[in-house]
Amino acid sequence: MHIAMNQWKHNLLSSGIRHAMPLVLLPGVAQCKKTVREAVYDASIQAEAALLLADRYPSPAAIMMMDLSLEAEAFGASVTFPEHEVPSVTAPCVSDLPSITQLSVPGLDAFRLPTYLKAAEMVIQGLHSKPVFASCIGPVSLAGRLIEITELMTSMMLEPDMIHLLLEKCTRFLLDYANAYKRLGANGILIAEPVAGLLSPDLCETFSSKYVARIVDALQDDSFLVILHNCGPALPLISSINGTRAAGLSLGNACDIARAQPLITPDTLVLGNIDPVSVLARGSEDDIQRIVMERLHQTALHPNYVLSSGCDMPYSTPMNNIDALFRTVDEFNHR
């Protein structure tokens, strides 16, 4: 469905009320009585969960499953598939300059990519009340799954040209992949870049932000917005993250949101940053109410703040806890 996304963003910023847009697809899979292992191979399960959640909650957008093994698997990395958790990479597929030079950029028919594209297409066709955001990994985080993470960090200092070659291939693939979602009619994409949170500001700019900015510049327009997710503390990286020109920033629970907000441009959506495990999955409804209220009061002077989970919620998150999150936002709006 075509939605004027800049107007959508403006409406969120100027609505005068607070919104919540957590990453809830895995608990939705559980609600459908399916396992995560089943969902990562079956587009209809992902779509059923997304549509169920879109109907149940007043989130201003639907966000598809975040699976940070997907793109690495397409390149040839080994992946393991737990029953109730997202898959994870178990072994990289490159180790040095010769192997990176020989690494082929996969097509969009590789491994499970068609499943995730199909799931998004089904939700786009079935949901007419709100935008649909796809999700993908970020360039340096993909590189960190294709080459061992210690080797990645060391080579940034000692062999930067080798890492830039790897990042060029990652970025070329991610541009094609994100653009496929845009062609299907998705209204945006959430790019998860957790490895950026491990870097210094200079390294973040050099090895992450400039590559993310290329994706943003190529794809972001009035019909398609990019939200950048950073799981790290983020405060030292705000200047670099701002430089990506993404329409939104999704901050992890390690970030001090009260200190970060004033450093982010006021026309940028800021999502964050309730702890998805200790609070949303394992906390009581009273815990959630207290922490959500605290976060909303902390950001009272920043209308660009949209309450969200600091990362995707675990499969085991009780629906009652998600209900409590949305109920508390509604109570805050009607206080």
Q: Give the full edge-to-edge strand order of the sheet including 305-309.
A: 62-63, 132-137, 188-192, 225-230, 248-251, 269-274, 305-309
Q: CA 279, CA 275: separation in Å to the nearest integer?
A: 5
Backbone angles phi, psi at 265, to 5 degrees: -55, 135
Residue 242 pLDDT: 83
Structure tokens at 75: 């390149």
Which of the four pLDDT bands, split at 50, 70 and 90, describes residue 235? confident
Whether a cis peptide bond, with omega within 30° of 0, leads into 273 is yes
Backbone conformation region of residue 16, classed left if phi is above 0, alpha if psi is from -120 to 50, else beta: left
Give the domain CATH number at 191: 3.20.20.210
pLDDT digits (tens, 9 = 90+) for 177-221: 999 999 999 999 999 999 998 999 899 999 999 999 999 999 999
Please answer whether residues 313 and 276 qualify as being in contact, where contact means their C-beta atoms are separated by less than 8 angstroms.
yes
Would the pLDDT of 68 be above 90?
A: yes
pLDDT digits (tens, 9 = 90+) for 81-124: 999 999 999 999 999 999 999 999 999 999 999 999 999 999 99
The closest alpha carbon to 141, from 69, 40, 239, belongs to 69
Across 65-74, 230-239, 318-327, least confident range: 230-239
Would the pLDDT of 6 be above 90?
A: yes
Distance from the first to the final alpha carbon of the chain:
34
Q: Taking all residues of the chain, what is their mean pLDDT, rounded to a whole number?
A: 95
Would the pLDDT of 236 be above 80?
A: no
Backbone angles phi, psi at 320, to 5 degrees: -60, -35
pLDDT digits (tens, 9 = 90+) for 245-296: 999 999 988 888 888 888 899 999 999 889 999 999 999 999 999 999 999 9
Structure tokens at 208: 């992450």
Please answer whether residues 192 and 135 qualify as being in contact, where contact means their C-beta atoms are separated by less than 8 angstroms.
yes
Residue span of the structural domain in which 275 resides? 5-333
Residue 207 pLDDT: 96
**b/e 92-114 (16+ beta carbons within 10 angstroms → b):** bbbeeeeebeebeebeeebbbbe
Please answer whether residues 62 and 23 qualify as being in contact, where contact means their C-beta atoms are separated by less than 8 angstroms.
no
Question: Could you tell me which residue, 242 or 191, shows the higher pLDDT?
Answer: 191
Domain count, the chain: 1
Return the number of other C-beta atoms located less than 10 Å from residue 314's C-beta. 19
Structural Rg of the chain based on CA atoms: 19
Q: CA 218, CA 138: separation in Å to the nearest integer?
A: 15
Residue 146 pLDDT: 98
CA angle 43/46/47 to nearest 5° reads: 85
pLDDT digits (tens, 9 = 90+) for 114-159: 999 999 999 999 998 899 999 999 999 999 999 999 999 999 999 9
